[in-house]
Structure 1
Amino acid sequence: MGIQLDRVGHCLIKVRDVERSSKFYLDVLGFQLMEKDQDHGG
């Protein structure tokens, strides 16, 4: 029996290309964008 996740509360992933990475996480992996932090590059 493994761990079953319901949701991830907070995650920081450092990337070079924010737009390209956003498309991957949203469109391919099905993540949901909850907020953008313009003060820290996101």
Structure 2
Amino acid sequence: MLLLLVVLLLNILAALVRRWRLRRDTGLAGLYGRHARGMA
């Protein structure tokens, strides 16, 4: 059970790291701008 949770967490972390690498040049301003545009 614990091993399954650890694997799940690692998969989520890997996905987040991949997303951050794709958008590393945008920064926090880019993130907030993207959210604002998505909501508007």
TM-score scaled to structure 2, two decimals? 0.29
Q: Flag the structure with more relative contact order, 1 or 2, with Cα contacts below 8 A and sequence separation at least 6.
A: 1
TM-score scaled to structure 1, two decimals? 0.28
Which has more helix, going by share of residues? 2
